Amino acid sequence: MAENRISIEGIAPINGTIPTTNQGNTASTPLFVTDGFPTGINFYTTQIADVPGVVAANNFISIFNPVGSGKVLKFYQFILLPWATAATSATTSLLVTKTSAASGGVLLAAASVSKFLSTTANSIAEVRTANPTVTKTGIAIVGIPPAITSAAQGISTTATLSPPTGASVACLPGEGVVVSTALGTVSQLWNMGFVWSES
């Protein structure tokens, strides 16, 4: 992903303002981010790419709002691109679920979390990959099926979760989200990422 550039297809307005001033683009066109941000709200994004599936249960990425942060995380988009390198019949969907705890895995340094605007503060979110330990709460927010092919070739489908206008999934301090599968195969690969705000 190029610096300061992200596809925000279907991103929900905040107080009537969409965080871009680039005009004339269709919903599927990547938009250049500018300084048209609501006061006091910072936007961030993170993604992982070409991550192989795991036969056992696996947590691919979690984003957690630490206790005492004093911030609310609002998720405006989750983007997923599943594909396959070989024939696979694994049919277990990838799930996005809210969490009440997250630890372990690989913790991304705060300075490495991408900002929509380079002058904003580092994210307070704890972004973890490589199968972090989480405590899931409630049922999944969304389930997305994997790429499945009966031929020994890759296929790709794109899934984008965008909340309705003016709404978003929010995480208070001590809450977060995780992307996981109950099982899979190494022939599956996943590209996934989130867009969120902190205020």
pLDDT tens for the 199 residues of the chain, in order: 333 333 333 334 444 443 443 444 334 333 333 445 566 689 999 999 999 999 999 999 999 999 999 999 999 888 888 888 887 778 888 999 999 999 999 999 999 999 999 999 999 999 999 999 999 998 898 888 888 766 555 555 666 665 555 557 899 999 999 999 999 989 888 999 999 999 9
Asked whether residue 171 is domain-assigned, the answer is yes
Asked whether residue 11 is domain-assigned, the answer is no
Look at the chain and report how many structural domains it folds into.
Answer: 1
Asked whether residue 15 is domain-assigned, the answer is no
Asked whether residue 124 is domain-assigned, the answer is yes
Asked whether residue 102 is domain-assigned, the answer is yes
Asked whether residue 27 is domain-assigned, the answer is no
**Going along 108-153, which residue ranges are E strands?**
114-115, 126-129, 133-144
Indicate the pairing of strand 42-52 with strand 188-198. antiparallel
Asked whether residue 26 is domain-assigned, the answer is no
Asked whether residue 21 is domain-assigned, the answer is no
Token pair 């997250």 is found at: 102
**What is the value of pTM for the model shown?**
0.76
Task: Measure the CA–CA gap between 112 and 134, rounded to whole angstroms.
Answer: 22
Tokens linked to 50: 């070409």
What is the residue range of 105's domain?
A: 44-198
